[in-house]
A and B are shown apart, each in its own frame.
Chain A
């Protein structure tokens, strides 16, 4: 190289250097150019070695717990509870802790995908967001409004509101929202029972903290039931919140769940007999209290209830005395009691016990959860009947485009309802899933949304907060991949469509939409904070992770004991010898299977990890010649699954239990590892009068297969169960 550089060469070299400092990126609407900066000049609010904390809302379930996420240099490191959020008051459940395994999951959809066909497992990002928006625009405009359908998850609410507005503007049917939890919690039945007994189908709040005696009929409130973090706090306060008393819990359940394990008494009843037991108790209690049984319980037959439920008469007397003697008694109907053919009657009987206890609107009693500050009604998830209607329309070809977000219906809707085959009849299926799940596999397009931690939004809370509140979400990190907020995609499509649609939905992007919605809160009274204009409000909304009122506004239900209740005997589908008791995995919830740490965390009662199991009473197993880890075939009228045996000491001998949450065929490498089976494959499509699936009303057969597959337990089977049995 010569010492002398010509002037032309010098400019060339200098020019190259300058150009190299600017780098083109393709992602994000805000900055098309990113300049490289030295480490000493960090982005705002970021200092080397210091963490920045962002408040947001957890999206692992719909409880609306607030999170504060620790980030450092643009990476999310740890989630903690937001101590200000009234639902969780700074606490998190295992799913909230493991949500980072979702954000940084290696099997996310990394960009917009035009699939090579329904069923293709190739998720290589091959489209641009502009093209994706065009596809959505075409789907919305080129089809008749009645042919467009939206199926959303239970979270996030701001997207549900946006889609509702969109469907209204379009003239399309309102979006359905669904999640497996809503099926297992039988939300529709709970609402209808509340409407029948208390006059409104609103979500109820059960004040465990103040109760002296609680009768929980299959409500697993320490696990996943509606708002587990809030209810766990209530349980803890019930036990030790008052130094002068310790609340007493009785759990009525065919199988000892994690909640039942913490109860003072576990009553192993036959599935479906919860209502008969509640009514029988009601008649005994009211008779002792008033001298004569209340009209509501006049049809109850204690002897018959005892015979059908398997609960001894002496226990009825003991329980009645217990309930009667409590200053604050509470009765809770859980999903297991409501997801039955007689589920609505069960729910009404159980809720009426609260009227009998006189606890409505009292400490330790039943309340109405306050409506959200946006002033709207509680948006109930779709029940099985409504899903069935949608599926019928899909099958018949009346749905030309189906948008799916926030739910994995191919996995979460029982196969008996026929969602997957119906999906193949829909010409355009657009999934917004962030993960390579089963529904995305069967979709035509996957336009991945940001995950919860990368998203703006708000969430109404189903219960757990005394105050009317809205939980808020904001991105804690820049999007990891080339994903785009679904709200932004829809709004961009609307803008592209133009016309009346665009004028009804003028927001240009998600934040603008949310801010418009929050506008009504500027003039709301008694708020945790206030602001005169939206930008200041928005800053505080982000900082505190939501907005709520200072004063609790729990509603007081009213009920009468005058109308006689009928509780019919439960009916079961199938002629096997064993009741099937399916339950949601307390660790995985409905969607945790793709998070490796959730898979590795043991189930609280069996300590099994990574796989599905069937719980069989040890005496029953011995009688059938079954041992731990034997693979058996469980058959119902709707289907069959092969699953390993766990000899479970605390389950009725005539009942078997299988957890829900595993059995994925897609959804990432961690979800398909292990031997997972989906007990929902055994459900048939019978619904109860409230429209919910009677998932608890199955009778199944057990067949030996001769195969064995070891379950990965944390516990040492030798130490917990003894070594007289052959050890594994």
Chain B
């Protein structure tokens, strides 16, 4: 490893009274100790943990699986969809969960490529959100179908009838994109996980040892394996970034390619991607807060600086989001199209307008009011609340884009409000499933990529330049 020392520009800007060891990167522990902490966090459960698991499992069983069964046997009529609101909460869930899943990729891939050090301890926690978020998104797609048992007709397999699916349809692009994203992000979750699985294999007994032995694929940590693994991860990191941008763009094209007023907008592509990041980062804030508060040793790995960093990131993204949202409104308003102006008026003055105002409050006012303040950014519980608010706001945003906007058609005789019905318990069930999977995963695989943390810690050091201590970072190959 060639070592070039570089003084970091922000080093002097640090508060003089801060102890450098507050930074994770400057507070190394022996590698064995960090691994032991990660293992202990994974292995320890208490009665509160299992109580929550049981409650979540029961919620999933009833709210998701049983109600889904009702939905399939009774038909979409038990949901709140109707003319003209053909798509409702299930589609909102699809977009929402894909949005959540973007955070993981952003953090583990984009921040890795950009060499942002702050990402190191929570890449896996975020990447897990991606995987489980995509599971929910996939379920949501199936939920809204009228004849879900025939979904396989969307798979382009050679068949007896000689029928292909229609690739003109944005739904097919969705299908291809989400499948690709799910596969790629699962692999990209798996690869950095291998060294940690190997570590866990070496430190466990019983069924865990067997499980990890299988999953670690024989990783021994020698130079040859590390080199190949790093190459693979780098390739994937670069490759998955365009996938991330394209997936949500393609999902946005479900709407942008339609002729509905309020949907047929060219700004939807980037707007949805930014929206996904907005809700994703906010969700990461919430999840990290929960992890830090409930799991052992996580306060060592997840520090105030990380929350500070994510808070700044969230603020920037909320500004970008506000810019795109403004664009999405000012342009049609200026254009003066009758139906577009009717739609804007409906959002501002119609029966759903409280939702619209709540969305603007949660997505713009809340982050802008709180995240500018450095002290406040270092309060995890406050950032968790901001995360909840932004997620509510972004859920409302999708709710407004889908069932509220769709009320306004070019034929006023058909305008009707949407009222969700079975969507409510099923959505609750999906949230419960997400949490359930996440909680189970946190006890099956190590949540912290210790090797990545250690890698960063190795590269960071404090150097004395004259009287001051400066943080320097080695460039890693």
> Within 8 Å by CB, do A and B touch in the complex?
yes
For residue B134, which residues in chain A have a CB less than 8 angstroms away from its CB?
none
A456 to B415, CA, bound (A): 48
For residue B417, which residues in chain A have a CB less than 8 angstroms away from its CB?
718, 727-728
**Contact A719 B349, beta carbon cutoff 8 Å:** no
**Contact B413 A723, beta carbon cutoff 8 Å:** no
Question: Contact string, B400-421, partner A, CB cutoff 8 A, digits 1/0?
Answer: 0000000100011111110000
Is the CB of A726 closer than 8 A to any CB of chain B? yes
For residue A726, which residues in chain B have a CB less than 8 angstroms away from its CB?
351
For residue A728, which residues in chain B have a CB less than 8 angstroms away from its CB?
417
**Contact A716 B351, beta carbon cutoff 8 Å:** no
A716 to B410, CA, bound (A): 12
**Contact B412 A724, beta carbon cutoff 8 Å:** no
Q: How many residues of chain A have a CB within 8 Å of chain B?
A: 10
For residue A727, which residues in chain B have a CB less than 8 angstroms away from its CB?
350-351, 417
Q: Looking at the assembled complex, report how far the CB atom of B342 sits from the nearest CB atom of chain A, in whole angstroms.
A: 10
A720 to B409, CA, bound (A): 12
A728 to B346, CA, bound (A): 15
Which of B346, B349, B415 is within 8 Å of A716, CB to CB?
A: B415
Is the CB of A264 closer than 8 A to any CB of chain B? no
A720 to B416, CA, bound (A): 11
**Contact B349 A718, beta carbon cutoff 8 Å:** no
Which chain B residue lies CB-closest to A719? B412
Task: Classify the interface of chain A: helix, strand, loop or mixed.
Answer: loop
For residue A723, which residues in chain B have a CB less than 8 angstroms away from its CB?
346, 349-351
A716 to B85, CA, bound (A): 12
**Knowing A723-B346, A723-B350, A727-B350 touch, does A718 contact B413 (C-beta < 8 A)?**
no
Q: Looking at the assembled complex, report how far the CB atom of B367 sits from the nearest CB atom of chain A, in whole angstroms.
A: 31
**Contact B413 A716, beta carbon cutoff 8 Å:** yes
Question: Contact string, B342-386, partner A, CB cutoff 8 A, digits 1/0?
Answer: 000010011100000000000000000000000000000000000
Question: Contact string, B217-255, partner A, CB cutoff 8 A, digits 1/0?
Answer: 000000000000000000000000000000000000000
Is the CB of A622 closer than 8 A to any CB of chain B? no
Which chain A residue lies CB-closest to B414? A716
**Contact A716 B350, beta carbon cutoff 8 Å:** no
Which chain A residue lies CB-closest to B409? A719
Q: Looking at the assembled complex, report how far the CB atom of B423 sits from the nearest CB atom of chain A, in whole angstroms.
A: 20
A720 to B349, CA, bound (A): 16
Q: Looking at the assembled complex, report how far the CB atom of B267 sits from the nearest CB atom of chain A, in whole angstroms.
A: 26
Instruction: Tell me how many residue pairs across A and B have CB atoms closer than 8 Å.
Output: 30
A719 to B406, CA, bound (A): 13
Is the CB of A715 closer than 8 A to any CB of chain B? yes
A724 to B353, CA, bound (A): 11
**Contact A724 B349, beta carbon cutoff 8 Å:** yes
**Contact A719 B415, beta carbon cutoff 8 Å:** yes
A584 to B413, CA, bound (A): 25
A728 to B417, CA, bound (A): 8
Q: Looking at the assembled complex, report how far the CB atom of A607 sits from the nearest CB atom of chain B, in whole angstroms.
A: 9
Q: Looking at the assembled complex, report how far the CB atom of A715 sits from the nearest CB atom of chain B, in whole angstroms.
A: 6
For residue B350, which residues in chain A have a CB less than 8 angstroms away from its CB?
718, 723, 727
For residue B414, which residues in chain A have a CB less than 8 angstroms away from its CB?
716, 719
For residue B412, which residues in chain A have a CB less than 8 angstroms away from its CB?
716, 718-720
Which chain A residue lies CB-closest to B353? A723
For residue B411, which residues in chain A have a CB less than 8 angstroms away from its CB?
719
Question: Contact string, A699-728, partner B, CB cutoff 8 A, digits 1/0?
Answer: 000000000000000011011100110111
Q: Looking at the assembled complex, report how far the CB atom of B379 sits from the nearest CB atom of chain A, in whole angstroms.
A: 41
Question: Contact string, A425-443, partner B, CB cutoff 8 A, digits 1/0?
Answer: 0000000000000000000
Q: Which B293-323 residues sit within 8 Å CB-CB of chain A?
A: none
A723 to B343, CA, bound (A): 12
Which chain B residue lies CB-closest to A716? B415
A724 to B346, CA, bound (A): 9
Which of B346, B351, B407, B413 is within 8 Å of A720, CB to CB?
A: B413
A719 to B339, CA, bound (A): 12
Q: Looking at the assembled complex, report how far the CB atom of B263 sits from the nearest CB atom of chain A, in whole angstroms.
A: 18
Question: Contact string, A418-458, partner B, CB cutoff 8 A, digits 1/0?
Answer: 00000000000000000000000000000000000000000
A68 to B412, CA, bound (A): 38
Q: Looking at the assembled complex, report how far the CB atom of A600 sits from the nearest CB atom of chain B, in whole angstroms.
A: 15
Q: Looking at the assembled complex, report how far the CB atom of A713 sits from the nearest CB atom of chain B, in whole angstroms.
A: 10
Question: Contact string, B82-121, partner A, CB cutoff 8 A, digits 1/0?
Answer: 0000000000000000000000000000000000000000
Please indicate which of the listed interface residues B346, B411, B416 has the most CB atoms of chain A within 10 Å of its own CB: B416
For residue B413, which residues in chain A have a CB less than 8 angstroms away from its CB?
715-716, 719-720
A719 to B411, CA, bound (A): 8
Q: Which B189-215 residues sit within 8 Å CB-CB of chain A?
A: none
A715 to B417, CA, bound (A): 12
A726 to B351, CA, bound (A): 7
Which chain B residue lies CB-closest to A607? B413
Q: Looking at the assembled complex, report how far the CB atom of B188 sits from the nearest CB atom of chain A, in whole angstroms.
A: 46
Which chain B residue lies CB-closest to A726? B351
A233 to B351, CA, bound (A): 44
A728 to B418, CA, bound (A): 10
Q: Which B62-93 residues sit within 8 Å CB-CB of chain A?
A: none
A715 to B83, CA, bound (A): 11
A208 to B84, CA, bound (A): 41
Which chain A residue lies CB-closest to B350? A723
A480 to B382, CA, bound (A): 74
Q: Looking at the assembled complex, report how far the CB atom of B274 sits from the nearest CB atom of chain A, in whole angstroms.
A: 30
For residue B349, which residues in chain A have a CB less than 8 angstroms away from its CB?
723-724
Q: Which B386-445 residues sit within 8 Å CB-CB of chain A?
A: 407, 411-417
A45 to B415, CA, bound (A): 50
A77 to B349, CA, bound (A): 50
Question: Contact string, B327-351, partner A, CB cutoff 8 A, digits 1/0?
Answer: 0000000000000000000100111
A715 to B413, CA, bound (A): 5
Question: Contact string, B7-30, partner A, CB cutoff 8 A, digits 1/0?
Answer: 000000000000000000000000
A723 to B346, CA, bound (A): 8
Which chain B residue lies CB-closest to A725? B351
A719 to B343, CA, bound (A): 12
A728 to B349, CA, bound (A): 15
A724 to B350, CA, bound (A): 7
Q: Looking at the assembled complex, report how far the CB atom of A602 sits from the nearest CB atom of chain B, in whole angstroms.
A: 11
Q: Looking at the assembled complex, report how far the CB atom of B338 sits from the nearest CB atom of chain A, in whole angstroms.
A: 13
Which chain B residue lies CB-closest to A714? B413
A723 to B413, CA, bound (A): 13
Question: Contact string, B40-70, partner A, CB cutoff 8 A, digits 1/0?
Answer: 0000000000000000000000000000000
A678 to B172, CA, bound (A): 54
Which chain A residue lies CB-closest to B416? A716
Which chain B residue lies CB-closest to A718? B415
Which chain B residue lies CB-closest to A728? B417
Q: Looking at the assembled complex, report how far the CB atom of B133 sits from the nearest CB atom of chain A, in whole angstroms.
A: 34
A718 to B345, CA, bound (A): 13
For residue B416, which residues in chain A have a CB less than 8 angstroms away from its CB?
716, 718
A716 to B82, CA, bound (A): 12
A715 to B415, CA, bound (A): 8
A180 to B407, CA, bound (A): 41
Q: Looking at the assembled complex, report how far the CB atom of B25 sits from the nearest CB atom of chain A, in whole angstroms.
A: 56
For residue A716, which residues in chain B have a CB less than 8 angstroms away from its CB?
412-416
Identify 13 new A-B residue pairs, CB closer than 8 A, beyond the known A720-B412, A723-B351: A715-B413, A716-B413, A718-B412, A718-B415, A718-B417, A719-B413, A719-B415, A720-B413, A723-B346, A723-B349, A723-B350, A727-B350, A727-B351
| Complex A-B: 28 CB contacts under 8 Å | A715-B413, A716-B412, A716-B413, A716-B414, A716-B415, A716-B416, A718-B350, A718-B351, A718-B407, A718-B412, A718-B416, A718-B417, A719-B411, A719-B412, A719-B413, A719-B414, A719-B415, A720-B412, A720-B413, A723-B349, A723-B350, A723-B351, A724-B349, A726-B351, A727-B350, A727-B351, A727-B417, A728-B417
The residues of B with any CB-CB pair to A shorter than 8 Å are: 346, 349-351, 407, 411-417
Q: Which 5 A-B pairs have the closest CB atoms?
A: A719-B412, A719-B415, A716-B415, A718-B415, A727-B351
